[in-house]
Each structure stands twice: as structure tokens, then as C-alpha cells.
A and B are shown apart, each in its own frame.
Chain A
Amino acid sequence: MKKTTRPALGQALFRMRKCTGTSQEKMGKILSIHQTALSRIENGVQTLSAIQLYLMSEYFQVPAHDIFNQKINYWDLAERFHQPHPYPKRYQTAYFSKVREVLPLISFLNTVSNEETARSILAQFEFDSVLFQHYDLSISVNFTLDLIRELLKRRLLTADSFNVLIRQTWLKDVHGSDLRETYDNQDSALKLIQARVMKAEHYESNFKYKIEEMNNKLIAISVTPSDYMKEICNTDHILGGFLCNYRKEYFKNFPLYNSFRPLKLEEHNCKETRNYECSYVLKTA
């Protein structure tokens, strides 16, 4: 059965062209076609020929096999062409988040809304889920926060749907192979939390996590926001409050990732209204 991936290839051509700052005129010359034809290909109306794919491959220095299979590292492509990363301008600062931190949110969005709504929300931020292929890439925390704000505003993220979001964080696919290997090797809920805290920088660097105490019954964690995050939380208390609650639920339930029982959480010092510095103790139930 032959694959029909032509509209997707047109989109890939569009993205690659944008990422590399190549004008339609130049691309047309490279592919030896008129700009109108190029537009039609990019919009999926006209098909891309084999020779055009090979010409793309030569120009972008990306194997034809990778272009055909949509395995394109747009970030790398942009760097090689000395172009800014393929984010909207407002997301080209504060690279404190990682792709793997955003994946549960995207997965949640696809679960609680239909595909079209999910796409339109991401499009609103000029983001495309196809860009989220490399788990370890740093992205702007502003994108993560904007997405949360939008979900709260649209009432997609509510007290009722909160658990659905938490559930997306247990999906093995959101962590990537190296972290999965670490987590899969933990033999208790507390050790799993310990491993997760120690790997925190693989998710984000907005908060500093510290294990204050640990024995075979409990683990005490303190959380301190970065200056950037402190400022954001202090100007947007709804968001700050959400992040605080989310983190607590996340840690309590993360043992379910390895099919362990959830932990009990005792708040020791959760200053939601001041600086958002929290500390809590997680105990085996």
C-alpha cells in the first residue's frame, strides 16, 4: 500500500523554508518551479515530486528519508542557517522549560477537547505540536505558562479535570528513554520521588527542589522559585496558586507511574501568597 503523505510534505517544506529564512522566490528557483506552484505545494493542493524532494534535501542538507518521514529537527535547521529558533518572538527568551514538561499539557488538551480545538489553541500561540519531537529541548517557560493560562481561561482546566492532567504525567512517553530507564529501576514510591526530584532539571529550571530529609517512610522536599518565577507568581496569583497545587498533586500521585500506591502529602510550609516557597513531606500511605 503506497503512502500518501503529500500534504504533510508540503507543510514540512513550508516549515523548513520559514525556519531557514528562505524566501518563496529563492525556494521557487531551487525547486525550479513558479512561486504560485510553490504556494500550492505548501498548502497541500499540489503534490511534491521525487526530484523536488531531492532538491529540498540538497538545499537544506537534511536526508530525503528524514524529510519524507517527517523527522526534521527544525531547531538544528534554524541554527545551521543562522536563523532564530522556530518560535514566535515572544517565546525566544526565558528558556527555562523543556519540551517534556509541556507534553502532558498537550496530551491533556487533546484529551479534554477535540482535535480541532487543540490545534486552534496551539495555533493561537503560533506553535505546532510537530515541533515537540525532541524531549530535551529547552523552550521558553512563557509558552508553558501561556498555555496553562489559556486552559484555565477556557475552563478546560478545572477542579474536575485536574486529575486528567495529572494522569497525563504518568504516561511513559512523556519522559523520554533515559529518564524512563531511571524511573523504571526504582523499587519503591519514595525512591521514585527521590529520582524525580534529582532529575528536576530535565523538566524545568523555574523552581529549585531540595530533598531535606529521607528515610524508608518519608521524603521531605522544599521548593524555591527562581527570581523570574517569583515575579510571575506574585503578579498572577491564579497561575501561582495553580502551579502550587499542581506540584503537590503531581508528587503525591507520581508513584502511580510505576504502579506504586500514591503517597500522603503533609504541607509544612506552603506560602502561596508570599514568594511561593513551599515545603512538604510525602509519606507512604
Chain B
Amino acid sequence: MQLNTHLNKLNFGIRRSVFAIFSALDLSDQEVLDLLELSDREFTKIRNGLNFQLETLELLCSKLNITLDHLSKNSIDYIALAQQFSGACFAFPEKYCDPQGKLARTRTVLGVYSYLQAGHGFRYANGILRKLQLHPSLFSSPDDMVSSFLIQDLLDEMSKSRFTDKALIEMGKNAVNINKNTNIGKLLCPSKSPKELYERVHAEVLGAHYDMIFNYHLANANDEGVKMITTIKTDAQEALKTKVFGNRQLCLYKQGVYASFLGHISKSNYNLVESECLYLGGTQCVFHVTW
């Protein structure tokens, strides 16, 4: 009895999502048939209560860049869906559109995306973006500003997909590939020592080319290592309406990014330690890189 109720609820939820999609996209009956690749007769049966077949649902999802889970959880942003369907693939879901929240850079998304694409293939990488109702073409220029919440959700999704802490650090390290042929690469490559490199990173790179959420402070730099401190900017706290923005995943990714800078001067022997973390009870994040 209980299971039947649950099945009915599940069925009802999926049907509601699918028909809400048709309505949001303002589709005629023929357009629905074309989209689902169904005959008139098959669709009439569905209209009369027959359940959708799995392949039909997946086909609908893949054509609309959403996932099967969006249907069951009723978590579709219908406005973005309609915009994307009408050809505006540059449409973000509403939760990522608030201009005040756009304090991060596309660079981070590209770092994660290229890591996934290289290790798991395009299909998998696109699938992760699809879970957030995002399209890869939204992220072409690394310097574009994007929603801070998008970055947070993306890294959270990595964690849900069971990527380990080590993998998150590796994703951050991928920044060296994203930055190599950009102004950042040109700025950092001429550095004669790691110390000079990190001085340049703090003076010219982090403020200008990375997010506007965190203060990046080079607390100490000598010939053996550097100590770097990050805190959340007060105006970011106000804009994002939270005192502690971000998550541990973001911090692990940041560790990788810090390490990635050494790649510009081909320094592969180093040690990076985070001695304090905002997301593990600290008041700031403190990173030490020694070489």
C-alpha cells in the first residue's frame, strides 16, 4: 500500500514535470510528437495515463539539456529551459543570474570542465554541466564573470559524484593549462624564482583575473616558500548575503590553483599544506607552499 502510494507519487511527479515542460516551451501537439519521437497513437496512450518509457524520457532530457533527476525532483528552471530551447544557449538558470552574485570567473568552470573532459570524456563533462542545466558554450572566455553560486554548486556536484579531495586539488592544478596561453601565462612565465612567481601572482593575477569574493594576501615569501592567507571580502559577504561563502571543495580546488602557478616555471618539486581552513572551523584559510 505504502509502496503503491510512493510509486503513484513518483509517476505523478514525472508526468507533471514533463507536461510542464511542454507548456513552458509552448509546444504544439505535433512538436511534442517530434520532440519525443512518438506516434500520435503512442502519445494518446500516454495522455490517457500510460507511463512514459525510459528511453522517451532520456531522449527528452538529452534534447533539452536536463537530466532524468530534474524530472523526478521537479527542479527544472523552466524559463532558462525555454530560452535555451529557443536557441539562446547562453541562458543561465535564474539562480545564477543575479548580477550581485557574479563575483567569480569562468576560469574555474573551465578548469573543472577540462579536467573532466580529459579524464572522462566530453560526454561525461557535458553530463556534469547538464546536471546544473548549463551548456558548455556558456563558458568560452575564462575572464567572464559568473555567479559565485554556480562555482559552489559545480564543486558540490563534484563531491556528490564522489570525486575525492585529491581529485579536487588536481582539478585546481589544471588551471596551468587554462592559463598557459593567456595573459596570466605571459605574466608568470618570465618569473626567475618561485618567490618572484608568487609575488607576481598576488600583485597582478589573483585580483585581476580571479574571483572578487576573496582577499588574497601574501603573508610571507622567501627563497624556501610562501605563506598565503585568504579571507572573504566584506562587500562579497554583503552581496552574497552570507558571512561564510563557499565550501571545503572550493578550498581544495584553490589549493590546486595555488600549486598550478608553479607549472608556469616548470617547478614540479614542491609541498603544499593548508594549515587553517575557513570551512573547517578556522577564521581564514592559510596555505604554505615550500620547494
Contacts and interface: CB of A to CB of B under 8 A. Distances in A.
Interface string A153-195: 0000000000000000000000011101110010000000001
- In this complex, the interface size class of chain B, counting residues with CB under 8 Å from chain A, is 35 or more
Interface in B124-182: 124, 127, 130-131, 160-162, 164, 166-167, 170, 173-174, 176-177
Contact of A68 (B3, B58, B124, B170): B58
Among A73, A177, A198, which residue has the most Cβ atoms of chain B within 10 A? A177
Contacts, number: 97
Nearest to B130: A65
Contacts of B160: 63
A4 B127 contact: no
Interface residues of A, number: 36
Given A2-B55, A50-B51, A68-B58, A32 B119 contact: no
Given A2-B59, A73-B162, A181 B173 contact: yes
A201 interface: no
Nearest to A175: B119
Interface string A183-220: 00100000000010010000000000000000000000
Contacts of B72: 54, 57, 64
A32 B7 contact: yes
Interface in B1-59: 3-4, 7, 10-11, 14, 37, 51-59
A188 B160 CA distance: 39
A271 to B, nearest CB: 30
Contacts of A198: 268
B115 interface: yes
A180 B118 contact: yes
A285 interface: no
Given A51-B10, A65-B131, A135-B119, A182 B37 contact: no
A76 interface: yes
A6 B53 CA distance: 11
B185 interface: no
Among A32, A49, A51, A136, which residue has the most Cβ atoms of chain B within 10 A? A51
A32 B8 CA distance: 12
A237 interface: no
Contact of A185 (B10, B164, B263): B263
Nearest to B4: A32
Contacts of B57: 50
B54 A48 contact: yes
Contacts of A2: 37, 55-56, 58-59
A195 B268 contact: yes
A63 B263 contact: no
A97 to B, nearest CB: 18
A1 B60 CA distance: 11
B265 to A, nearest CB: 11
B69 interface: yes
B5 to A, nearest CB: 12
A93 B114 CA distance: 34
B68 A65 contact: yes
